[in-house]
Amino acid sequence: MCVVVLFAVWQEDRLACLFSPKTSEERWAEQTIRAYIDTTQLEIAYCSVRYNTFLKGILLGDVPELTNPPSAFIKNGAESQIILEYAAQNFHLPREMRSSLGTEIPAIEAVPIEGGE
């Protein structure tokens, strides 16, 4: 039982990826991305760390076949937008980066002095 809990915590992002409900557009984007991965013979497992890195590459423009129409995988700008939205929604920051996001010290702004001219 303890092993299962530890495995679930360790694989939290992957489990969320595998079992999250998807819209028809998200399923289409996922299938298109998988088709690209299969066609280019990349060894990337769905919902793996490499898949997450691949989604980041899509967002950064490293995979123009999925973001610059027309291509063998997308026909127009609307399909490109669906791919980009899918990548943005499913890309997860590495755990070590997530923990540091909320720890910035807020900037203190100067308060104007009243009546001091």
Residue 42: strand, helix, or coil: coil
Give the residue extent of every domain in the chain. Answer: 29-92
d(CA 88, CA 26): 11
Rounded to two decimals, what is the model's pTM?
Answer: 0.69
Q: Using the predicted structure, report yes or no on whether residue 3 has a pLDDT greater than 60.
A: no
Per-residue pLDDT tens digits for 43-93 = 999 888 899 999 999 999 999 999 999 999 999 999 999 999 999 999 987
Residue 59: strand, helix, or coil: helix
C-alpha angle 9-12-15 in degrees, rounded to nearest 5: 130
> pLDDT at position 9, please?
46
